[in-house]
């Protein structure tokens, strides 16, 4: 049978629409025609708007009024936008009832066909009437790489869209390394989902391996039923309990949650950015070993202890603690060089912190007991600076968490300094990005010296130089011939250097790669010219080696490659302007770290300086050869 819109419209005329007295055949015919209508897509809006069809829906209580039926008008883009705006206005009004630190869950998954990744952000809070609310703010595809920075940006966007402060929410999520890093970048409080961990633990390690599990589950269900039956009593008891007791209970939940996640989650998954940072040399110091004396652990943890909460805030990838029950032993091991430092927590640390923050006690005893005491080995600057930075930042996060748990604005723990987004570089600078530009320039310079330093010494010994002069070849022509031949070797060296720097060591070059290659190439010419000068001065190979090696370290130390120019004495700073590497290194650093073009003074002056040194070395070498000819 061919079903047409007119056929179905006539079927639903008021005189013929189905009622509760319709017989079975009529209902089956109705179902068949409706199915054909949906499958053939025969102008469904014109059919739905038919008066007979609308009466049919209301007769069977499918809808209460005609307004509840979707139509062409209600589903057009204009009305959908109006509906969206109305829901958004209503949601924003309801979000005003959210407490200062609402909870938010974040889930990421891939659909069962592995086509698209999705992310979902859901806000949860309990209002003043103890009524729970849950709103799915975003449930959308996530086509970016699952890196911490991308997750962070998505969270900030969701919070901005709904007028939420990303720093004033509590995130509950899984313990994936990329997810955890994203929350650290946003500086939000993160709670692991104990229920999720329990579910995984039961489903993977318990249920498949225990006999008689049905009786166990029946008992658990009975306990849950009793707890639900006495829900009001439990709620009243919780509200009437002291703040300290509530905080202690939350501490216990967090501790259990951390243990569950440590047992269940795999530590082999690394965020892409973390993997990049841990695969390079000259990175910031990590895996620093320190001794720990925790007086609270020795004397028995107090209720709601805060020392473990502080230690949990310290990144174990950067600082690894070994606990000791004897303070003197910990100090002695540091003196013996087995640890880079010792951290000491007094036996009354928790009470002292509470007295300091909430009772405003500032007597010396309270201040001393509420502090983390550090005894560091400061002989290695990079290691000591890393230890201080990690421990100070972790302590700040710890204080904010303690204040938040007592409903106190954690921003009062912020130092009175706001470090905005840097104009150049990043908030977490890496020593590699500082040293790499200077090392690339110096490597090419000293390798180029080796290409030409022995040329004329060897040729003079073998008589080749005199034969060339007798044949009428000038000294300048000989020198230019050698430099041009070495150009091709230097081109290969520069190419390999840039490939290793970019793809293996992950050196950031924010400016033009061609401009960076050009300054390196000119510095290579300078090195070859300097090699020719050494060759013109020396008679023996051993003399060449002595002069070349003897000039390497003074140039390195006075060119700002390892030792910053700003840290030099005034005399050294003045002399550094007269080395062949100082200004080219600064130009290379401006290209790589700041992304400057050739038009900036420091960049073009670096090119001019390198060219001037090259020409000077070449001319002096030519004069010396001419005098010795």
Q: Are residues 322 and 441 in the same domain?
A: no
pLDDT of res. 304: 63
Predicted confidence (pLDDT) per residue in 54-111, tens digit? 777 777 777 777 777 666 565 566 666 777 778 788 887 777 777 767 888 888 777 6
Q: Are residues 593 and 549 in the same domain?
A: yes
- In this structure, how many other beta carbons lie within 10 angstroms of the beta carbon of residue 210? 10
86 inside domain: no
Q: Are residues 203 and 133 in the same domain?
A: yes
Domain boundary among 263, 298, 323: 263
Parent domain of 47: 5-68
Q: Are residues 395 and 435 in the same domain?
A: no
249 inside domain: yes
If we measure between CA atoms, which residue out of 129, 148, 134, 128 comes closest to residue 103?
A: 134
Predicted confidence (pLDDT) per residue in 248-268, tens digit? 555 555 554 544 444 444 333
Listing DSSP states for 356-383 in one string gives HHHS----HHHHHHTS-EEEE-TTSHHH
Predicted confidence (pLDDT) per residue in 429-451, tens digit? 777 787 888 889 999 999 888 88
599 inside domain: yes
Predicted confidence (pLDDT) per residue in 277-329, tens digit? 433 334 556 788 899 998 887 766 655 678 888 888 888 888 888 888 888 99
88 inside domain: no
What CATH number is given to the structural domain containing 306?
A: 3.40.1710
Q: Assess whether pLDDT exceeds 60 at residue 373.
A: yes
pTM above 0.85, yes or no: no
269 inside domain: no
Q: Are residues 532 and 599 in the same domain?
A: yes
Q: Are residues 223 and 295 in the same domain?
A: no
420 inside domain: no
277 inside domain: no
Q: Are residues 398 and 437 in the same domain?
A: no
**pLDDT band, residue 524 (cuts 50/70/90):** very high
For the chain, what is the mean pLDDT? 76
- In this structure, how many other beta carbons lie within 10 angstroms of the beta carbon of residue 480? 13
271 inside domain: no
Q: Assess whether pLDDT exceeds 70 at residue 3.
A: no
Q: Are residues 105 and 167 in the same domain?
A: yes
Domain boundary among 413, 440, 469: 413
How far apart CA 118 and CA 110 sit, in angstroms, is 6
Domain count, the chain: 4
Predicted confidence (pLDDT) per residue in 221-230, tens digit? 777 666 655 5
Q: Are residues 151 and 202 in the same domain?
A: yes
Predicted confidence (pLDDT) per residue in 575-615, tens digit? 888 899 999 999 999 999 889 999 999 999 999 999 999 99
Q: Are residues 174 and 231 in the same domain?
A: yes
Q: Are residues 393 and 442 in the same domain?
A: no
Least confident of 15-29, 214-228, 459-473, 535-549: 15-29
Q: Are residues 152 and 245 in the same domain?
A: yes
- Strands 341-345 and 373-376 come out as antiparallel
């Amino acid at each position: 049978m061919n079903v047409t819109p007119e056929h179905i419209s006539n079927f639903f005329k008021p005189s013929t629409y189905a009622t509760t007295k319709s017989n079975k055949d009529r209902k089956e015919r109705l179902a068949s025609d409706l199915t054909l209508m949906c499958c053939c897509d025969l102008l469904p809006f014109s059919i739905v708007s038919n008066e007979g069809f609308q009466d049919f829906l209301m007769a069977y209580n499918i809808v209460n009024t005609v307004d509840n039926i979707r139509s062409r008008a209600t589903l057009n883009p204009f009305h959908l936008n109006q509906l969206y705006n109305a829901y958004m206005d209503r949601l924003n009004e309801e979000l005003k009832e959210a407490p200062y630190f609402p909870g938010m869950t974040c889930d990421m998954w891939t659909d069962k066909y592995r086509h698209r990744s999705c992310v979902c952000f859901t806000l949860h809070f309990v209002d003043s009437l103890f009524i729970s609310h849950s709103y799915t703010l975003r449930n959308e595809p996530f086509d970016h790489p699952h890196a911490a920075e991308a997750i962070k940006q998505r969270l900030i966007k969701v919070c901005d869209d709904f007028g939420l402060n990303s720093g004033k929410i509590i995130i509950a999520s899984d313990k994936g390394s990329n997810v955890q890093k994203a929350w650290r970048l946003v500086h939000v409080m993160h709670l692991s989902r104990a229920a999720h961990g329990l579910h995984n633990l039961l489903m993977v390690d318990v249920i498949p391996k225990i006999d008689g599990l049905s009786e166990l589950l029946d008992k658990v269900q009975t306990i849950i039923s009793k707890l639900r039956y006495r829900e009001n009593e439990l709620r009243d008891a919780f509200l009437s309990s002291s703040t300290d007791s509530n905080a202690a209970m939350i501490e216990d939940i967090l501790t259990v949650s951390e243990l569950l996640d440590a047992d269940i989650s795999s530590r082999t998954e690394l965020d892409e950015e973390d993997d990049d940072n841990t695969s390079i040399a000259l990175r910031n110091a990590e895996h620093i070993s320190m001794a720990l004396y925790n007086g609270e652990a020795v004397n028995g943890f107090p209720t709601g202890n805060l020392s473990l909460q502080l230690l949990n805030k310290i990144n174990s990838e950067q600082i690894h603690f070994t606990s000791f029950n004897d303070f003197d032993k910990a100090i002695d091991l540091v003196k013996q060089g087995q640890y880079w430092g010792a951290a000491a927590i007094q036996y009354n640390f928790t009470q002292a912190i509470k007295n300091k923050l909430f009772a405003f006690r500032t007597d010396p005893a309270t201040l001393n007991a509420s502090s983390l005491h550090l005894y560091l080995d400061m002989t290695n600057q990079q290691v000591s600076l890393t230890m201080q930075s990690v421990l100070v930042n972790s302590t700040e996060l710890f204080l904010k968490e303690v204040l938040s748990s007592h409903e106190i604005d954690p921003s009062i723990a912020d130092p009175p300094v706001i470090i905005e987004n840097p104009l150049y570089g990043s908030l977490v600078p890496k020593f590699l990005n500082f040293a790499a530009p200077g090392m690339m320039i110096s490597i090419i310079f000293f390798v180029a010296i080796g290409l030409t330093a022995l040329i004329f010494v060897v040729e003079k010994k073998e008589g080749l130089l005199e034969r060339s002069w007798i044949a009428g070849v000038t000294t300048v022509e000989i020198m230019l011939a050698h430099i041009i031949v070495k150009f091709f070797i230097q081109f290969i060296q520069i190419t390999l250097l840039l490939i290793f720097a970019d793809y293996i060591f992950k050196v950031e070059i924010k400016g033009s790669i061609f401009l960076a290659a050009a300054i390196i190439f000119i510095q290579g010419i300078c090195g070859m010219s300097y090699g020719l000068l050494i060759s013109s001065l020396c008679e023996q190979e051993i003399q060449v080696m002595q002069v070349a090696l003897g000039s390497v370290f003074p140039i390195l130390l006075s060119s700002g490659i390892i030792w910053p120019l700003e840290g030099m004495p005034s005399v050294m700073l003045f002399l550094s302007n007269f080395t062949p590497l100082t200004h080219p290194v600064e130009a290379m650093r401006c290209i790589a770290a700041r992304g400057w073009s050739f038009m900036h003074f420091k960049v073009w002056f670096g090119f001019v300086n390198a060219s001037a040194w090259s020409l000077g070395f070449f001319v002096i070498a030519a004069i010396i050869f001419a005098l010795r000819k």
